[in-house]
Amino acid sequence: MSTKSLSIGYASGKRKTVLAENLDLCIESSAVICLLGQNGIGKSTLLRTLSKMQPPLDGDILLEGESIYSIARNELAKKIGLVLTERIPESNLTVYEMVALGRQPYTNWIGKMVEEDKELVRRALKGAQLEELADMRCDELSDGQLQRAMICRAVAQDTKLILLDEPTAHLDIQHKIETFQLLKKLAVELGRSILISTHEVQLATQMADVLWLMNADGISSGSPEDLINEGRINELFDRNTIHFDKETRQFRFK
């Protein structure tokens, strides 16, 4: 996926609120990209725009050389998986049933899965180490287990690109690390491209292949090593109160 002179934000009548403009970005194959930035800077808006949930203010988004706005939604669902932070509504869905929803773009109009669909669901459950929880109801899961199940659903969807908005927002440190490890595994072993919006700067610098640093001036892109050595990580914070030490890779308060 790539963007061409993309501008994102909101439009109400003739009034536009621009959050970022003239973005020329590229999501490489089999890579983990972490999108970092302060609250309200436009990270979620960018992910919604890239997934066609929200229209851009200007520019275009290309997927396999084709504008996503010329791709039917059902076909786009075979190419892009999306994992949001919102908890799913209470229901009697089991983990297996929720993961199986990832096969909806491929099943016939009555939603009946064939053996190939079932095998992909089983494989996704195994990869996320959720086989033993397959018969549990989703509302019985911990936050960490539920997040893994939602990622697992995106894996079963069998798309080359998965977008995740704050996937570790409500997790403790152990589950944050496990979630990042799972996403890294998907990129390395299954060849998925993973774009994660996150506030976990230290985990992102350790796990990501590429960082997108979003601020009021736009988005800077590069390897964690390069952006750390250039001191660009500090652009994410109020420099009067916090500093990211590139030698120790730790935050220091002034």
Domain span at residue 146 reads: 87-158
What pLDDT score was predicted for residue 178? 92
What pLDDT score was predicted for residue 233? 86
In a domain, 244, yes or no: no
- Give the pLDDT of the chain (254 residues) as one tens digit per residue: 999 999 999 988 888 999 999 999 999 999 999 999 988 899 999 999 999 999 999 999 999 999 999 999 999 999 999 998 766 666 789 999 999 999 999 987 667 899 999 999 999 999 999 999 999 999 888 888 999 999 999 999 999 999 999 999 889 999 999 999 999 999 999 999 999 999 999 899 999 999 999 998 899 999 999 999 888 888 887 666 777 777 777 777 76
What pLDDT score was predicted for residue 87? 64
What pLDDT score was predicted for residue 35? 98
What pLDDT score was predicted for residue 5? 97
Structural domains of the chain, count:
1
Give the 3-state DSSP-derived string for the chain, with helices as H, strands as E and coil as C.
CEEEEEEEEEEECCEEEEEEEEECCECCCCCEEEEECCCCCCHHHHHHHHCCCCCCCEEEEEECCEEHHHCCHHHHCCCEEEECCCCCCCCCCEHHHHHHHHHCCCCCCCCCCCHHHHHHHHHHHHHCCCHHHCCCEHHHCCHHHHHHHHHHHHHHCCCCEEEEECCCCCCCHHHHHHHHHHHHHHHHHHCCEEEEECCCHHHHHHHCCEEEEEECCEEEEECHHHHHHCCHHHHHCCCCCEEEECCCCEEEEC
In a domain, 70, yes or no: no
What pLDDT score was predicted for residue 84? 86
Contacts 24+ apart (CB under 8 A), 170-177: 170/85, 170/143, 171/143, 171/144, 171/147, 172/144, 174/144, 175/142, 175/143, 175/144, 175/147, 176/200, 176/203, 177/203
In a domain, 176, yes or no: no
193 Cβ partners below 8 Å, 6+ apart? 1, 27, 28, 29, 30, 31, 33, 160, 161, 162, 187
Q: What is the pLDDT of residues 185-221, one digit of tens each?
A: 999 999 999 999 999 998 999 999 999 999 988 999 9
What pLDDT score was predicted for residue 23? 97
In a domain, 173, yes or no: no
